[in-house]
Amino acid sequence: MTKRKAAGTKSTSRATRPVKPSGPSPVAGPDAARAAPERKALWSGRFADGPCESLKAIGDSLRFDRRLVFEDILASQAHARMLGVQGILGKKDAKSILVGLQSIADDLEAGKLRVEGADEDVHSWIERTLTERIGEAGKRVHTARSRNDQVATAFRLWIANRLFALAMEDLRGLQAALVDRAHEVLGVIVPAYTHMQRGQPALLSHQILAYVEMLARDGTRLGAAVDAAMEQCPLGSGAATGVPYPVARESVADDLGFDGPSRNSMDSVSDRDFAVEALAALALLQVHLSRLADDVCLWSSSEWRLLELGDEVSTGSSIMPQKRNPDGAELTRGKTGRVIGHLTGLLTTLKGLPMTYNRDLQEDKEAVFDAFDTVQTCVHVMTDTIARSRFRTEAAAALLHRGHLLATELADFLVGKGVAFREAHEIVGKIVRTCDEREIDLSDLTEADLAGFDRRFEDCATALDFQSAVDRRDHVGGTAGKRVKAAIKAWRARLDATS
């Protein structure tokens, strides 16, 4: 998982940058915002009348892009600092802008101010609020930038902040819960399934740790998405072609924690690859959560009886008093299509856009915001489900004596006697067929029974033992007890080191 430094501080090493968390919800706290004037006060020069209601309905984005308020303030502060240093703005105006922006951020964090009103978007809201607070200087904050490069910068910062926190905090919480359960059931043997059929015996801990590995890859992908978002800073690209001012783009990029300024202004304002990469990482994480949720549903079913859901993470039925339903897991599984849909939707939006910026790109934010909220909620739900439920180790043994789990062990036993594996496979297959006809499991047979099929099965006791079958997988990545115990220890150390 990536580590980045705080946005708004000078860059050090790309590998060691924690990202500054976003502030609290910009809509929290008491309603202290004044009613906004007609927004043509900001953009009225070209038009005699404001937009009609239908255009406002489809175009206004304040209701969702207000989530960018802290990132936009941060970027505006970096921009204003640069304008003052470069002499594009007078130092007095630049200082006034910085103080005014900070006062807005402080009031939002304290719950004294809410982002609401008739403004078109959060960027207009900030500029209007700033102008109301500091006067004419507030109108100069937009010098040498466009909303095109402004929103692209704020959106990149938001994605970097949120995905970093998801990778470094939420995912690790779920991994820790899984590792704790794996430790608790170490030594418990269950069937390993392929094609949803019982296949071979394995440690339950080994299966649980498989999800820890999946989540580790998800963390890496989220980190890569953070890196992609923070690679190039759009500020200074203007609407499409750059700006006619002596801007210091490198200093702004460094101030905000980017690797550097974007290399092509036209690409910069129309690029949403970083949003697609964020959605792709979120979608695959949600797929993995769905797989875990599906196992929870199976484990907790009356057929498996392997997992007893805690009262806090299960629900009852409106008509059947005995029910204990895994609603959190089911909803996690169900919401996967929603997240995948956001990825598909954004790709479809982007596929036919001409150069450079087009308003279609406004469709990027709701997709990313909702995908992030959905995934984060599902991570929390699955963390609670794993942490607040217990595995019924007494039920595990009952699962072993169906499905002929020792068939491969018997075939491998014959291989050890010099029999070619294909011949051994055929011999054991005939024995399994006989067991099915007798309605017994392979594990019910004795050495003498097996020797009746083939005399080479003499002294095959170890091949009829579930524990021996598990312990023979004694290699890196195998299900042998000492390997799984070592994996649990290694994961605990890894999680502790990065907590």
Question: Which residues are identified as catalytic?
Answer: 195, 317
Cα distance between residue 492 and residue 177, in whole Å: 11
Task: Evaluate whether 182 touches 205 at the Cβ level (below 8 Å).
Answer: yes
Contacts 24+ apart (CB under 8 A), 124-128: 124/39, 124/42, 124/43, 124/62, 125/36, 125/62, 125/66, 125/69, 126/69, 126/72, 126/73, 126/76, 126/101, 127/42, 128/36, 128/37, 128/39, 128/41, 128/42
Pairing relation of β-strands 189-194 and 197-203? antiparallel
Task: Evaluate whether 97 touches 137 at the Cβ level (below 8 Å).
Answer: yes
Task: Find the distance separating the first CA and the last CA of the chain, reported in whole Å.
Answer: 12
CA atoms within 13 A on the CB side of 425: 3
- Report in angstroms the alpha-carbon separations of 165 from 67, 173, 178, 219: 16, 11, 19, 10
> At 6, which amino acid appears?
A
Please give the backbone phi and psi of residue 13, each rounded to the nearest 5 degrees, phi first.
Answer: -100, 135
Residue the block writes with tokens 């790709």: 347
**DSSP H or E stretch at residue 213:** helix 204-229
For residue 154, which of 290, 38, 269 has the smallest C-alpha distance? 269
Task: Evaluate whether 144 touches 236 at the Cβ level (below 8 Å).
Answer: yes
The β-bridge partners of 390 are 308
Task: Evaluate whether 80 touches 89 at the Cβ level (below 8 Å).
Answer: yes
Cα distance between residue 353 and residue 361, in whole Å: 9
- Report in angstroms the alpha-carbon separations of 95 from 34, 98, 122: 25, 5, 22
Q: What is the token pair recorded at 55?
A: 């255009």
Q: Is 230 helix (H, G, I), strand (E, B) or coil?
A: coil
Cα distance between residue 382 and residue 178, in whole Å: 10
